[in-house]
Amino acid sequence: MIAQASGDVGDPAPSAPTKFPHVAIAIPCGTMVHADFAVSLGSMMHSLGEMPMSIVVGKSSIVADARNLGLEYAQKHNAEYVLFIDSDMTFPKDALLKLLVRQVDIIGATYSRRTAPFHFLGEILPEQPADAPKGLLEMARIPTGFLLIKSTVFESLKRPYFRFRVDEEAGVNIGEDFDFSDRVRAAGYRIWCDPYLSKELGHIGEQSFKL
């Protein structure tokens, strides 16, 4: 289970901004999405009312390319923030607002693996900084399944913004989410995680049932 940040559960969130920015919801996927994801997305969009929003879809069998396509479409809409949501996620209707009111460059929530062992994805900084916003954890690496990024962050990165990397010394592949985390931190950005929202996210998997 993900460690909790300092502060009591239920601490009041920061005040919402008086004027909401334009947010593009970028969905990397193939040709279909999960029904439960669609219900979560519809509920969240309905709750946002008149907030300026765009929904963009990056279709590719290669997840890094799908994220890059979604980002490209978001930039064409001149979105101030991009919220990446994977099509196998479920989330509460106020999830975006919980991240947006923090007014930081990169913030998201983590979630469980879909296969055993069912630990959370990502890496928490071993020593949390004293200036961490109340109720948040600073991350070394975070998954991109539910991640809000200010558009100006990408001005500090080279294309492709999302890419796979090979660690030849360890003999492993580095996913596009952890590679992105490494690169933005190297550029001087900090990555934040809401551990309370993390407990409300679902990661849809598959299981074979037998008699």
Q: What is the pLDDT of residues 30-50, one digit of tens each?
A: 999 999 999 999 999 999 988
pLDDT digits (tens, 9 = 90+) for 166-184: 988 888 899 999 999 999 9
Q: Which range among 76-80, 88-92, 117-121, 155-159 shows the weakest confidence by mean pLDDT?
A: 117-121
pLDDT band at 19 (very low <50, low <70, confident <90, very high): confident
Q: List, as own/partner pairs, every contact residues 124-131 make where C-beta atoms lie below 8 angstroms and the sequence separation is at least 24, other chains included.
A: 124/2, 124/3, 124/193, 128/5, 128/6
Mean pLDDT of 104-129: 91
Q: What is the pLDDT of residue 167?
A: 87
Domains and CATH numbers, the chain: 23-203 (3.90.550.40)
Instruction: Pull the structure tokens for residue 134.
Output: 């109340």
Q: What is the pTM of this model?
A: 0.89
Q: What is the CA radius of gyration of the chain?
A: 17
Q: Among 10-19, 39-48, 64-73, 75-84, name the one with the lowest average pLDDT.
A: 10-19
206 or 55, greater pLDDT = 55
6 pLDDT band, cuts 50/70/90, is very low
Mean pLDDT (whole number) for 69-74: 96
Distance, in Å, from the CA atom of 173 to the CA atom of 84, rounded to the nearest integer, reads 22
